[in-house]
């Protein structure tokens, strides 16, 4: 796989999720860490997923997939058990400017949703480029234990310094030294 690890700004990006089962629900839960501009299309939805939709006031269209739902969306996530439907949706989207993720077809994916940790302003992603998702999840748990509880206050302090000090080498050196000192104190 040739996935470039990037952080994508999804502000003002509309996401469509096709599917109402456990996998679709898990992907929506990941998206909710970063946006709630999500529309879900599925003829059936499981109970837990329905609760999430209600809790976050998400748009839910109780319907079978239809290509009309591709209009005005930027990101598409397809998580349905019907493999033929996934292929059909891929054929409909491959020439459109829609970033796609298909739960069973890596070759159709423009992006993957890696295992990640989000603790306030810190986001750490772990990916095995699709080769071993189970390892990525376990390694994420390992890394999560290493993150200090006060990380958010440290990052806020660093942001304040970064925005208040003049740009340039002096600021970069100071921020680097503070980061190194903070990390050194974690190791002790």
Lowest mean pLDDT among 10-14, 27-31, 110-114: 110-114
| Dist CA 70 CA 56 (whole Å) | 22
120 C-beta neighbours (distance < 10 Å), count:
11
The residue-averaged pLDDT of 22-47 equals 95
Q: Is 46 helix (H, G, I), strand (E, B) or coil?
A: coil
Q: What is the pLDDT of residues 142-172, one digit of tens each?
A: 999 999 999 999 999 999 999 999 999 999 9
DSSP string, 80-99: -S-HHHHHHHHHHHTTSS-E
Reported as a pLDDT band with limits 50, 70 and 90, residue 188 is low
| The pLDDT of residue 114 | 83
Kindly state the tokens that stand for 72.
């005005």
By the 8 A CB rule, do 24 and 81 touch?
no
Which neighbouring-strand residues pair with 138? none
What is the total residue count of the chain?
188
Query: What is the percent of the chain with per-residue pLDDT over 70, rounded to a whole number?
Result: 99
Among 6-10, 23-27, 125-129, 135-139, the range of highest mean pLDDT: 23-27
Distant-in-sequence, close-in-space partners of 85: CB < 8 Å, separation ≥ 6: 65, 78
């Amino acid at each position: 796989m040739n996935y470039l690890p990037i952080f994508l700004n999804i502000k003002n990006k509309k996401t469509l999720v096709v599917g109402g089962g456990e996998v679709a629900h898990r992907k929506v839960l990941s998206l909710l860490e970063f946006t709630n501009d999500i529309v879900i299309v599925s003829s059936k939805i499981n109970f837990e997923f329905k609760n999430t939709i209600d809790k976050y006031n998400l748009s839910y269209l109780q319907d079978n997939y239809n290509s009309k739902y591709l209009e005005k969306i930027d990101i598409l996530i397809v998580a349905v058990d019907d493999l033929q439907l996934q292929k059909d949706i891929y054929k409909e989207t491959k020439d459109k400017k829609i970033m796609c993720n298909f739960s069973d077809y890596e070759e159709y994916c423009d992006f993957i949703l890696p295992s990640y940790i989000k603790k306030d302003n810190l986001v750490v992603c772990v990916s095995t480029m699709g080769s071993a998702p189970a390892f990525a999840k376990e390694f994420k748990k390992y890394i999560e234990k290493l993150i200090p509880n006060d990380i958010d206050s440290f990052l806020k302090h660093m942001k304040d310094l970064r925005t208040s000090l003049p740009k340039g080498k002096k600021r970069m050196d100071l921020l680097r030294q503070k980061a190194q000192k903070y990390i050194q104190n974690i190791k002790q």
